[in-house]
Amino acid sequence: MALLAARAGRYREYAPPPALWRHFSRLWSHTLNDGPAGTVAIVPDGYCDLLWIDGRLEVAGPDRIAAFPVIRPGATVIGARFAPGAAASWLKTPLSALVGLSVPLADIGRTDTSEFEARLRDCPEPAAVMLFGRLLEEAARNEEEPARDAAMIFAAADSGRPTSGLSGKLGMSERQLRRRCHHHFGYGAKTLERIRRFQRFLDLCRRMDAMPLARIALEAGFADQAHMTRDVAELSTLTPAIILDQLGMREGSG
């Protein structure tokens, strides 16, 4: 049975400094447990991340279904989660080309990659998160403002509102809206809505582990419990009951 990544070690999130607010929604670090961790599942969330792992920078593209990376026990991964609409501009790459992939940043062609990596390699691990943020601040000075339409599309999907009504507000056709979704998120609006509904389910599991699954299904926006069970299994390979148990244990462990 897979273990959600949040349960496989110590995961922390940090608010980015003000200079990065337009480009990144979160900075984070994840230290895996020592010893065999078993199968670790990283579930889709609709985001793209920049990672510092094993001495190099990588781009973790958006996922449609859970990924099961092999990461050495005890490793610390530092990451920056791109804000909606920021990744494609920053990487000069449509996210549809990165779905389900983890790619070295150097392969994408950013000219500052080697200097960025060299400075991080010389930094002791406890201070690496702060240096990672400072280096991103330096790089952000030359970056364009993220696309506003992407933020609106993501906000609608995140809140459970249908994105189909946005084309008129954004002054574009449904076909253009679909192309924008694939460019900024890697897939269409319906897939993004499905993934963000799954994330609402995870959030409810973290906050309300005593709530019946049928109630969680309705609160998250599923048609019913059977709909939730199908979607959760397809996106994570786990059942809602197992996820509720895992996230409940996490909260209970403090």
Map out the domains of the chain as residue ranges.
Answer: 3-140, 148-252
Model-wide pTM > 0.85: yes
**Alpha-carbon dihedral sign for residues 127, 128, 130, 131:** positive
Residue 249 has pLDDT above 70, yes or no: no
Name the average pLDDT for the chain: 91
- In DSSP terms, 78 is beta-bridged to 29, 52
- CB contact at 8 A, 39 and 145: no
Amino acid sitting at position 52: W
Task: Give the percent of the chain with pLDDT over 90.
Answer: 72
- Find the DSSP H helices in the chain: 87-91, 105-108, 113-121, 125-140, 148-159, 166-170, 174-185, 189-207, 213-220, 225-236, 240-252
Mean pLDDT within 51-74: 94
Please state the rounded mean pLDDT for residues 10-15. Answer: 92
Q: Compute and round to an integer the Cα radius of gyration of the chain.
A: 18
Mean pLDDT of 69-92: 93
Encoded tokens for 97: 């080309």
pLDDT tens for 41-60 read 999 999 999 999 999 999 99
Q: At 151, is the secondary structure helix, strand, or coil? A: helix
| pLDDT computed for residue 254 by the predictor | 34
Query: Which of 107, 104, 131 minimizes the C-alpha distance to 119?
Result: 131
Which CATH architecture fits 148-252? Orthogonal Bundle (1.10)
| Average pLDDT estimate for 164-177 | 85
Mean pLDDT score, 65-83: 93
211: pLDDT strictly greater than 90: no
pLDDT of residue 166: 85
Instruction: Work out the angle between the directed axes of helices 225-236 and 189-207 (0-180°, nearest 10).
Output: 100
Specify the DSSP element, H or E, that contains 12: strand 10-14
* Total residue length of the chain: 254
CA distance 96 to 101: 10
Q: How far apart are CA 179 and CA 187, in angstroms?
A: 9
The answer, yes or no, to whether residue 110 has pLDDT greater than 90, is: no
**Separation CA 243–CA 198 (nearest Å):** 11
pLDDT of residue 251: 41
Please check the confidence at residue 79 and state whether its pLDDT lies above 90.
yes
**Tokens 């990924």 found at:** 67
What pLDDT does 109 receive?
A: 79
CA angle 225, 242, 65 (to 5 degrees): 75
- 215-233: pLDDT as tens digits: 999 999 999 999 999 999 9
